[in-house]
Amino acid sequence: MEIHIPYGDSHLVCDLPDERVAGVLAPMAERAGGDEREIVLDALENPIGSPLLSELVRGKRRIVVITSDHTRPLPSHITLPLLLEEIRRGSPGAEITILIATGGHRAPTTEEIRTKFGSQIAGSERIVVHDSRNGASLVHMGRLPSGGDFSINRLAVEAELLVAEGFIEPHFFAGFSGGRKSVLPGIAGYESVLANHCAEFIAHPKARTGILEGNPIHEDMLYAAEASHLAFILNVALDSQKKICDAFAGHWNEAHLAGCAFVRDRSCVKASPADIVITSNGGYPLDQNIYQAVKGMTAAEATCREGGVIIIAAECRDGHGGEAFYRAFEKVRTPGDLMEEILLRGRDETQPDQWQIQIFARVLMHHPVIMVTSAPKDMVEALNMRWAPSLEEALAMAEGLLGDSKAKITVVPDGVATIVEP
């Protein structure tokens, strides 16, 4: 069986013996969507639980549109012009600010902004990059249900209407991306992000892929979206080629839930337990660093037998993706030691990148991980993983670790886009 694994801007190909493949876990075939622009226009013309955006903006001048940063595959070059057109239809003289929701990520470069939004928007619209660590740009909004201080970007608070665009995919601890996530962590202060991503919540059994109800991280995010007066969202669902296959516009929660239902329906698969699981982070931009690649590992984790080997393919053109994440194992001996240290920290003691480290440690406590990547070998090994230059060599390494050249293999081609259920 020939398998194709997303990797950077392309794919890796590997031929597996048919008799060894326990299953290929992939989202169902995408719905024939047609023209991407028409899909978005239809959503804007038929908002869920809300008047038309052009009606909401009437009489308002200061409009802020939150959008995703360079780490997310949202095709803003398609969605954003239509969103801006709809705003200006209702308020021709509107003063629009595009606010890039970075959360705790680095700021995008000028070229990344141009690539994502297109030259026309990048060159003519007012674009502001959110800085979660710049206290002067934040306004305190109260306290989150988690107990943490809640602050967001001042531009959003001062807006007469707050709008957000994004995309919906399974998320490894928030349940799904999109919707309320544009506010928290998107444009929130870093202390708010830390509180929301505390060890207690990350360890919660409901803080998992595809789960919203009872998820304490999601509940914080709902509070943040409502407190910020988020008025309208445009969220899209993407197919395996990162093309828009559906769109959802309207009320920030109702439209988001409709989008989550669609994504769940096409993303859920039954686990196919195996001793070796091959997965990816869905290619660029989600596989641009090791930090992000932890997401794909969690899909493999859900179908890998205890002690089985996870192979993840992620290009990681930007290296490790976070200094705190990279240095996590310097002061501890094992993933178990690291987990013990993290779980002792209270909600107000969360450290940078702790949530990613915590989930990564959880995976490593139960599975050796082999990474097929262009990242340096010593970088991968410093993170308690094994490095391989190809899927074939990774598979041979996994067989060696297991002492079994006939071990069953499950393939999850895109670990980010797949919800693996028991």
| pLDDT tens string 262-281 | 999 999 999 999 999 999 99
d(CA 422, CA 269): 9
Tokens coding 150: 């809640």
Tokens coding 215: 């998820």
Tell me which residues are annotated as active site: 105, 171
> Quick check: bond before 185 cis, omega within 30?
yes
Instruction: State the total domains in the chain.
Output: 2
State which of 266, 301, 323 marks the end of a domain: 266
Task: Work out the percent of the chain whose per-residue pLDDT is above 90.
Answer: 92
* 216-220, 325-329, 374-378: segment of lowest average pLDDT: 325-329
CATH of residue 361:
3.90.226.30
CB 170 within 8 A of CB 267: yes
Give the residue among 336, 249, 338 at the shortest CA–CA distance from 52: 249
d(CA 325, CA 177): 22
The DSSP secondary-structure symbol of 228 reads T
Give the residue among 6, 4, 177 at the shortest CA–CA distance from 185: 177
In order, the DSSP letters of 9-72 are TEEEEEE--GGGEEEE--PPPPP----HHHHHHHHHHS-BSS--HHHHTTT--EEEEEEE-TTS
- pLDDT tens digit sequence for 378-415: 999 999 999 999 999 999 999 999 999 999 999 999 99
State which of 239, 266, 293 marks the end of a domain: 266
Phi, psi (5° rounding) for residue 232? -160, 140
**Residue 206 belongs to what domain range?**
36-266
Strand extents, DSSP E, 88-176? 95-101, 126-129, 138-143, 149-153, 161-167, 170-171, 175-176
d(CA 206, CA 217): 9
CATH of residue 49:
3.40.50.11440
- pLDDT tens digit sequence for 138-156: 999 999 998 899 999 999 9
State which of 266, 287, 311 marks the end of a domain: 266
Say whether pLDDT at 89 is over 80: yes
In 175-312, which ranges are continuous DSSP H helix?
Answer: 190-196, 199-202, 216-227, 254-267, 290-301
This prediction's pTM: 0.92
| Sequence-separated (6 or more) residues with CB below 8 Å from residue 51 | none
Question: Which amino acid is residue 361, in one-letter code?
Answer: A
Residue 348 covered by a domain:
yes
Residue 31 covered by a domain:
no
Give the residue among 267, 270, 280, 283 at the shortest CA–CA distance from 27: 267
